[in-house]
Amino acid sequence: MTSDIQLISDGDGLAIIGEPSAIRRFVADEGLSARELELSRLGGVLSAGGALVQAGATLAENSGRWVKLTPESAQLVKKYGLMNSKTPGVSHAMIGQPGSITNWLQIDGGVGALASNPALLTGAAGIMTQLAMQQAMDEITDYLAKIDAKLDDVLRAQEDAVYADLIGVGLDIDEAMVLRKQAGRVNEVTWSKVQHSSSTIARTQAYALRQLEAMAEKAERTSKIADLADTTKVAATKAEEWLGVLARTVQLQDAIAVLEIDRVLEAAPDDFDGHRIGLKVVRQQRVEGIAKVTSHLLTRMAEAARAANAKVLLNPMQSPAIVQSSGKVATAIADFHQPLAIETDRELLAARAWTEAATEFRGRVLETGADGLTASRRVGVETFDRAKSVTGRISSGIGGLRRRGQDSPPDATGD
């Protein structure tokens, strides 16, 4: 058994494959937080690969870990010089003893090397896609716990039967994921329970997006400060609820993709690589569509805050309320974006600056009491000028939405 470690990257994660103790040393030396990569799931591609005995031996003597690619962990790809493989979007390398950067070699067909078996490399890439989606699902679970979203209550409040259907679909998919974990595969019975769930999830997702878009459109049409105060107040109450519903639909779509990968890997391994790439492209397009809607709402909330600031002297109570509500919506969207890997740093900073200014302004206006509008004018100018000095340093204010690490969509040959 060799102590060499094989590194494989698909653009979303980094797989570390080798002898268990060597992997432990490597992960510890690099300070990584890694998930188990179950090489046993590659059994479904062995017969299709035409090298059952050799590939089986390779799997038996190795274990694996998976690391999500972050700006920090992505440096390992550069550090160890991963090279492109024949599998679209997948790069690989072999390093010698952990800690010895100089002793790495490109994997080009050596005995026992994972990349020397195209079927196994493709299968490994599929498992990495699953792990990336499961990581996103876990982060969405954390997000939902953070906002304490009462998803069932929100869904049951709707009269349309599609929402009740989503609850049922969610239960079926959650059950399928448990069965997959216990059995190590997705059999035909399990798959039959969830394979027609996608349309129900998509309908609910479209409805949630429409609710958020309606909030943005209403804010865009509203010009009177009193009406804008009501509009942003409703948005501050409802936006987080619909973002929670939206997050749940994304989570279920990722779960369906995880289950689907298992079925294709087992039932049609020859078609798997194209299917894997297709799933990643579809997911990116879906997230970009979501980002377009939430970005529009962010922009409208920013415009509402600016409009309120422009009329703060005439509306010393309603204007700060508008800014607070707008900031609450912006922060909720920023929290929602995080598990979907959508950048919102500038938006979040601007929202917080305006909200803090609004809070301070309202408190100081109340303190002025009978001193009247002159004191309100002075306080308003001082407080909101400080907020503008912060947001003015943020190019384009609340805008410039982009996906982390995705300046352009992937094509059919890479990620």
pLDDT, position 63: 77
Q: What is the mean pLDDT of residues 305-320?
A: 81
Q: How confident is the model at residue 273 (pLDDT cuts 50, 70, 90)?
A: confident
Predicted confidence at residue 37, as pLDDT, reads 81
**pLDDT per residue over 94-140, tens digit each?**
555 444 333 333 333 333 455 556 667 777 788 888 889 999 999 99
pLDDT, position 415: 41
- CA–CA gap between residue 382 and residue 49 (Å, rounded): 71
Contact 336, 294 (CB under 8 A): yes
**Residues contacting 181, CB < 8 A, separation 6+:** none
Average pLDDT over residues 253-279: 89
Instruction: Give the pLDDT confidence score for residue 48 in this predicted structure.
Output: 47
d(C-alpha 304, C-alpha 202), whole Å:
31
Structure confidence at residue 79 (pLDDT): 76
Query: What is the arithmetic mean of pLDDT over 46-54?
Result: 46
CA distances from 248 to 135, 144, 241, 254, 278 (A): 14, 8, 11, 10, 22
Which residues are CB-neighbours of 25 under 8 A, at least 6 positions away?
Answer: 98, 99
Mean pLDDT to the nearest integer, 272-285: 91
Please determine, for residue 346, whether its predicted confidence score (pLDDT) is greater than 50.
yes
Q: Are 342 and 401 in contact (CB under 8 A)?
A: yes
DSSP state of 76: H
Q: How far apart are CA 219 and CA 42, in angstroms?
A: 52
What is the pLDDT of the chain when averaged over all its residues? 74
pLDDT tops 80 at residue 149: no
- Give the highest mean pLDDT range of 136-150, 207-221, 358-372, 396-410: 207-221
Residue 65 makes CB contacts below 8 A (sequence gap 6+) with 15, 16, 23, 27, 32, 34, 35, 36, 37
For residues 325-347, average pLDDT: 85
Across 340-344, 350-354, 394-398, which has the greatest mean pLDDT? 340-344
pLDDT tens, 150-185?
666 666 666 556 577 888 899 999 999 999 999 888
Q: What is the pLDDT of residue 372?
A: 43
Write down the domain spans for the chain.
Answer: 5-128, 149-403
Specify whether the CB–CB gap between 299 and 72 falls below 8 A: no
**Which of 105-119, 222-236, 245-259, 319-333 shows the lowest mean pLDDT across its residues?**
105-119
Give pLDDT, residue 282.
96
Other Cβ atoms closer than 10 A to 20 = 13
Position with higher pLDDT, 316 vs 357: 316
Question: pLDDT digits over 16-40, tens only?
Answer: 888 888 888 888 888 888 888 877 6
Question: What is the distance between the alpha carbons of residues 154 and 211, in angstroms, rounded to a whole number?
Answer: 13
DSSP 406: B
Confidence at residue 175, expressed as pLDDT on a 0 to 100 scale = 97
Distance CA 198, CA 241 (A): 22
pLDDT tier, 239 (very low <50, low <70, confident <90, very high otherwise): very high
Q: How confident is the model at residue 316 (pLDDT cuts 50, 70, 90)?
A: confident
Residue type, 2: T
Is the confidence at residue 195, as pLDDT, over 50? Answer: yes
CB contact at 8 A, 127 and 38: yes
CB 1 within 8 A of CB 16: no
Using alpha carbons, select from 68, 40, 74, 69 the residue that is nearest to residue 56: 40
Percent of the chain with pLDDT over 70: 64
Identify residue 76 by its one-letter amino acid code. Answer: L
Average pLDDT over residues 215-232: 92
Pair of tokens at residue 43: 């059994």
Distance in angstroms (rounded) separating the CA atoms of residues 140 and 236? 21
Maximum distance among all Cα pairs of the chain, rounded to whole angstroms: 89
User: What pairing do the DSSP bridges indicate for beta strands 104-105 and 402-403?
Assistant: unpaired
Burial class of residue 226, CB neighbours in 10 A (0-12, 13-18, 19+): exposed
The model's pTM is 0.74
